[in-house]
A and B are shown apart, each in its own frame.
Chain A
Amino acid sequence: DGGITQSPKYLFRKEGQNVTLSCEQNLNHDAMYWYRQDPGQGLRLIYYSQIVNDFQKGDIAEGYSVSREKKESFPLTVTSAQKNPTAFYLCASSMGVPPDTQYFGPGTRLTVL
């Protein structure tokens, strides 16, 4: 089955802790993206990567970090510097950069306690 997987589905974190969200795809897509979604707001781009070992900041990169060591994997670390990390995090991939269609993983819901 081809697709995008994210883990965990739900994540609870104490303030001051870093946490890493996993995103894996077996679609052979070059580009991968991380978005966050808050109630009543559109998806906001955190980071994206067009190719292995390269990534760019999106609109709200502060307090986040990523790596792209393999084509299939694009993990996101939410650091303690992110002031309001509670949100729904969505990973997406596409064959190439926009305007290629993006396909989403099932998301990780992060709650900071």
Chain B
Amino acid sequence: RKEVEQDPGPFNVPEGATVAFNCTYSNSASQSFFWYRQDCRKEPKLLMSVYSSGNEDGRFTAQLNRASQYISLLIRDSKLSDSATYLCVVDNFGNEKLTFGTGTRLTIIP
């Protein structure tokens, strides 16, 4: 099993729709989880951290399910500017590293 696994997509979603991605991780001891956004040929940028209780930032909601070892990202009322690749990132507890998923590509269609 890969350490961090994401559906690569692409997800093609009409503007205004709601879209959700999941990401599974293998290390049950992992403590920290993040979603990064990466635009084409640019660097990844932090979108949000994921807390145990779940957290929301405007149209974005992140949730953690420890029992099933996955995190999710929900985007409501999607905008054209949301088109990007979304990277799931998990700490590799015990070896001071972060593990990056390969990303889920999202395209918002007008």
Contact = CB atoms under 8 A, between A and B. Distances in A.
Interface of A: 35, 40-43, 45, 48, 50, 58, 88, 90, 97-99, 101-107, 109
B57 interface: no
Interface in B34-55: 34, 41-46, 49
A45 B91 CA distance: 13
B92 A98 contact: yes
A101 B4 contact: no
Contacts, number: 47
Contacts of B27: none
Interface residues of B, number: 23
B100 to A, nearest CB: 4
Interface of B: 4, 8, 31-32, 34, 41-46, 49, 87, 91-92, 96-103
Contact of A106 (B42, B49, B92): B42
B45 A104 contact: yes
Given A42-B4, A98-B32, A98-B98, A107 B43 contact: yes
A105 B44 contact: no
28 contacts: A35-B100, A41-B102, A42-B87, A42-B100, A42-B103, A43-B44, A43-B87, A45-B97, A48-B97, A58-B97, A88-B41, A90-B43, A98-B32, A98-B91, A98-B97, A99-B32, A99-B91, A99-B98, A101-B34, A101-B46, A101-B49, A102-B98, A103-B46, A104-B43, A104-B45, A105-B43, A106-B42, A107-B43
Contacts of B100: 35, 42-43
